[in-house]
A and B are shown apart, each in its own frame.
Chain A
Amino acid sequence: MSEQPISRQTLPEQTLPARAMSGRALRQLPLRILPAPLLLARRGSLGGRGSAHLIERHARAYRHTWLVLASGFVEPLFYLLSIGVGLGELVGRVKFGGQPVGFTSFVAPALLATSAMNGAIFDSTFNIFFRLKYAKLYDAVLATPMKAGDVALGEISWALIRGGLYACAFMVVMLAMGLVHSAWAVLAIPVALLIGFAFAGAGMAATTFIRSWQDFEYVTLTTLPMFLFSTTFYPLSVYPRPIQLVVDCTPLYQGIALLRGLSLGVVGPGLLWHVLYLAVMGTAGLAVASRRIRKLLLR
């Protein structure tokens, strides 16, 4: 269902005298010439202020289960310690951007990107599926003035807030361990959020198509290989050309390339492509998700 408060003006105005066309009515005139679907797209179909109330709800709910929040931070840290530090002893140095860098410094930004992905995926798939199908949370929400777009935007924002907290904590650890080599790294947090946005949007859109818990295998089947093969642990150059092209197209690779470039100070305009890729992915996911929520719940 779509909300379109403007439409109330469309009918009467044709019959009212011209003087009624002044002021507010006139300012709305250009809107009325737009085809209706465009109007709908303009009017908060991607969510609006109401999304803040859903974020508030989640913040309250997580007060009761703060341990779940903590685990999201601990996991990438364990990876960093075991693979980065442990394995780093054996591996030594890796060539990146023409220069040798320590293995731990090479892996750390990739782990940050991966944790941004995993956090966003977990929030936007398991949690949203549960709220959609079992907790009936959105049925309750949509009985109020909140709209489907508010739900989609609220959920994605919540995933980002959570992911942002983890990213900050992880960056602190990276700094403390001397794994950050460039001032560009200040951009790592917003980029981690962008990665979260992309995966939360896509994850949420995918979740609206999920029918049962078994379908979550597909989620794992997508994210795990990405984690293992998207240049997390070694540079793209180790692959033969055709596989390089495939990896080059995965969303996690965009995130890893961005964060690694920033953290190691290998920065060029080429990075903007990765930004664009992730931004489009998140926005498309958000749009699909709010449409699907509307379709699923407002029957």
Chain B
Amino acid sequence: MGCPLGVPKYPAGPVIHFELSQALGKVSDVPDPDALIRASGLTKRFGQFTAVDGIDFELRRGEAFGFLGPNGAGKSSTMRMIGCVSPPTGGELTILGLNPVTQGAAIRARLGVVPQEDTLDVELTVRENLLVYGRYFGLSRQVIAERTARLLEFVQLSERANDHVEPLSGGMKRRLTIARSLINEPEILILDEPTTGLDPQARHVVWDRLFRLKQQGVTLILTTHYMDEAEQLCDRLVVMDGGKIAAEGSPRELIDTYSSREVLELRFSTFEHDQAAEKLTAVPADRIEVLADRVLLYVDDGDAAMAGVRGLALEPLTSLVRRSTLEDVFLRLTGRRLEDG
């Protein structure tokens, strides 16, 4: 069969592998029963290019787990492997206790997927999109009709039920895609950049719906390159860059571990910028980050640091004291900003 994952340790369902592990006396290898997804050394190559480079993670039931990373980090490649539409090139991946290479259809039946680019059926109406998609899962028309009413209500599209998809706004299409992904009442909902390209208001509507899903106990796995989205939605996340996982933890843990309490952001006129940056090394700070247009001082007390800056007779054009964010964590870990890609 040429399983690219190597020989999976437990390709069987839970009952069989339990018996097997006892027979082999390998009880310690019995996986964490709460882990819905387990990946170790997971790798995806396209020809010579390695898009996902040996990542490890576990997804626990009921949590919202995020992949934060810039363009090309390998987020979508990872989501596609989890969605069983892209066979891994190496490592191990277990989803709901099953092997995605040999049991893809059985896994997909229990997943909801919101792909990075909408794949709504533009030849059908809003309601028909849910109906047809539900039929792909083999659901009866009656079950789908019941769920459709509820789901359209949930994503605030009831009034548009009989409209075609094409004229819907970007935010509406995204919400419809989310409704569609829920038609099979999935155990895991995979969202690849759920709000990219939406205006701020539309993003907040989507966040609100995802937050409600989370409260209803749906397990979410999502990717984003917005740090605010990650902070808002994720209980736990990994920072991904260049196909690798750079750090893992809750947003709070990551900020505490990789950044200071506060950040002092200074902006100088262009010709003063480099000179000022040089002088600022005299101010006591955990770290100084010199960006093209700003200087960031990572400190415990931003106001005290600002006093120190004034003491050096430096006059920034603007100054701002703020709390550390995941953006700072990312900068620290990769030396680049998220938007830089």
Interface set of A (CB-CB < 8 Å, partner B): 1-5, 7-9, 11-12, 15-16, 36, 39-40, 49-50, 53, 56-57, 60-61, 64-65, 135-137, 139-147, 297-299
Indicate if the CB atoms of A36 and B87 lie closer than 8 Å: no
Min CB–CB distance A56 → chain B (angstroms) = 6
Interface set of B (CB-CB < 8 Å, partner A): 1-2, 7, 11-13, 16-17, 19-20, 23-24, 46, 83-87, 99, 101-106, 108-109, 111, 113, 115, 117, 119-124, 128, 131-133, 135-138, 184
**Overall SS of chain B's interface:** loop
In the A-B complex, the 5 residue pairs with the closest CB atoms: A144-B136, A140-B119, A61-B123, A36-B1, A145-B105
Indicate if the CB atoms of B1 and A298 lie closer than 8 Å: no
A114 and B320 CA atoms in complex are apart in Å by 75
Min CB–CB distance A49 → chain B (angstroms) = 8
Q: What is the number of contacts between chain A and chain B, taking CB atoms within 8 Å?
A: 118
Indicate if the CB atoms of B85 and A142 lie closer than 8 Å: yes
**Could you show 9 A-B contacts with beta carbons less than 8 Å apart?**
A1-B87, A3-B103, A8-B99, A12-B12, A15-B23, A36-B1, A56-B135, A60-B131, A141-B136
Residue of A nearest to B103 (CB): A5
Indicate if the CB atoms of A5 and B106 lie closer than 8 Å: yes
Residue of B nearest to A297 (CB): B85
Cβ 8 A contact of A11, one of B11, B83, B138: B11
Determine the chain A residues whose CB is within 8 A of the CB of B136 once the complex forms: 50, 53, 141, 144-146
A8-B12 in contact given A3-B105, A60-B132, A61-B121 (Cβ < 8 Å) = yes
Determine the chain B residues whose CB is within 8 A of the CB of A147 once the complex forms: 104-105
Residue of A nearest to B24 (CB): A15
A43 and B133 CA atoms in complex are apart in Å by 24
Indicate if the CB atoms of A299 and B102 lie closer than 8 Å: no
> Most chain-A CB neighbours within 10 Å: which of B2, B23, B83, B123?
B123
Residue of A nearest to B109 (CB): A145
Residue of B nearest to A11 (CB): B11
A135 and B108 CA atoms in complex are apart in Å by 21
Indicate if the CB atoms of A137 and B115 lie closer than 8 Å: no
Indicate if the CB atoms of B102 and A64 lie closer than 8 Å: no
Determine the chain B residues whose CB is within 8 A of the CB of A56 once the complex forms: 132, 135
Determine the chain A residues whose CB is within 8 A of the CB of B87 once the complex forms: 1, 298
Cβ 8 A contact of B124, one of A2, A9, A11, A61: A61
Indicate if the CB atoms of B1 and A40 lie closer than 8 Å: yes
Cβ 8 A contact of A4, one of B1, B119, B123, B135: B1
A143 and B120 CA atoms in complex are apart in Å by 12
Indicate if the CB atoms of A5 and B102 lie closer than 8 Å: yes
Determine the chain A residues whose CB is within 8 A of the CB of B104 once the complex forms: 1, 3, 147
Determine the chain B residues whose CB is within 8 A of the CB of A53 once the complex forms: 132, 135-136, 138
A36 and B11 CA atoms in complex are apart in Å by 16
A1 and B133 CA atoms in complex are apart in Å by 21
A120 and B283 CA atoms in complex are apart in Å by 76
Determine the chain B residues whose CB is within 8 A of the CB of A3 once the complex forms: 102-105
A137-B119 in contact given A4-B1, A7-B11, A61-B124 (Cβ < 8 Å) = yes
Min CB–CB distance A24 → chain B (angstroms) = 12
Indicate if the CB atoms of A16 and B102 lie closer than 8 Å: no
A241 and B87 CA atoms in complex are apart in Å by 53
Cβ 8 A contact of A7, one of B1, B106, B119, B133: B1
Determine the chain B residues whose CB is within 8 A of the CB of A49 once the complex forms: 138
Indicate if the CB atoms of A8 and B137 lie closer than 8 Å: no
A297 and B83 CA atoms in complex are apart in Å by 13
A12 and B9 CA atoms in complex are apart in Å by 10
